[in-house]
Amino acid sequence: MKRYAEIRRRSQTKSYLTGYGLSLLLTLAAYWSAMARPARGWLLLLLLAALAVVQLAVQLRFFLHLGKKSSPQWNALVFSFMAIVVFILVAGSLWIMKNLNYNLMNMPPSATEKTIIKDEGISR
Amino acid sequence: MNRPTSQAINSPVPVFAFWVYLMSDLVLFASLFATYAVLKDNTFGGPSGAQLFNMPLILLATIILLTSSLSAALALQAARLGNQAGTLGWLGLTFFLGAAFLYLEIAEFSKFVGEGHGWQTSGFLTAFFTLVGTHGLHISLGMIWMLLSGVHVLMRGLNRHTALRLGQLVTFWHFLDVVWIFIFTIVYLMGVNQL
């Protein structure tokens, strides 16, 4: 029994080291992408965002032990709920504020509408 | 095990409650991230992030924080093994790395302010100082907590009470690491690659 516990602890230290190695690798990959710019514009931002999401998954899995059998299921549930709240908060703010810029333009509503249609590439 | 509080400590409720606190803290950071994303182009004639940021130092700070996250995890691991000296040693290293990170951040802030690019310069810098500064404030509080936790372990030894608090502290520290990853990506890496 004691031996089993010892093996489990060792494997946990190993899991921490794996997580650390992966997070360092991802950080360096993200830094290299931002500085050497293998892609341009939206593609580069998308690449950086993807690396951050993988990094988040590594941190949650190896350090915060989310989604493991041993951790309480409630933690994962609250985390999912907060992820939705965070998404609505950030995406909603950006959506509203981007449109607010249009509403502050010094032109009549009909001209604003034409500008939005042109900017967003809407075809009617 | 017959102490009246032992049942409360054994139950996962304090662990869960702390997790709920962390998730509400996440909402605070999300609002600051949203504010930053809205204001990041409003430089009002002041400098943009691409002109200000010293990227190699930011990479160094990130690696320091990631390493401190590992040493915090190893402190908890030592506590699980009942190794008090190991716990205090890893905790001490975590504190030192946290201090190094904080030093880099304060040096960056004071450089910006010294060059006349304080938080009152533009909407971008207001959002920048608020977001990054709030994270730094969390790191500072985490370090005070770490100091208290170390004294607690030193005075009481490793038991269920000290281990529970140590576990919460380490979770808090990992959480700050996660928040920093997004500051690193969104503020710094994307900041020097504006569309």
Q: How many CA atoms does the CB half-sphere of A7 hold within 13 Å?
A: 4
Question: What's the domain range around B93?
Answer: 6-39+48-189
Structurally, chain B folds into a number of domains equal to 1
Is residue A72 within 8 angstroms of chain B, CB to CB?
yes
In this predicted structure, which of A34-38, A67-71, B44-48, B117-121 has the lowest mean pLDDT? A67-71
What is the pLDDT confidence band of residue B1, given thresholds at 50, 70 and 90?
very low
**How close, in Å, is residue B154 to chain A by CA atoms?**
23
Q: Which residues in chain B are contacts of A76 at CB distance < 8 A?
A: none
Tens of pLDDT, residues B180-189: 999 999 999 9
Is B153 contained in some domain?
yes
Non-local (6+) Cβ contacts of B68 within 8 A are B93, B94, B97, B98, B101, B173, B177
Q: Could you give the 3-state DSSP secondary structure of residue B44?
A: coil
Is residue A30 within 8 angstroms of chain B, CB to CB?
yes
How many angstroms separate the CA atoms of B89 and B84, rounded?
A: 8
Structure tokens at B142: 């985490």
Report the predicted TM-score, pTM, of the whole model to 2 decimal places: 0.88
Q: Which residues in chain B are contacts of A68 at CB distance < 8 A?
A: none
Q: Which residues in chain A are contacts of B63 at CB distance < 8 A?
A: 24, 27
Closest-CA residue of chain A to B11: A72
Is B194 contained in some domain?
no
Q: In chain B, what's the furthest Cα-to-Cα distance?
A: 67
Tens of pLDDT, residues A42-63: 999 999 999 999 999 999 999 9
Is B57 contained in some domain?
yes
Is residue A89 within 8 angstroms of chain B, CB to CB?
yes
Non-local (6+) Cβ contacts of B7 within 8 A are none
Q: What's B72's domain CATH number?
A: 1.20.120.80
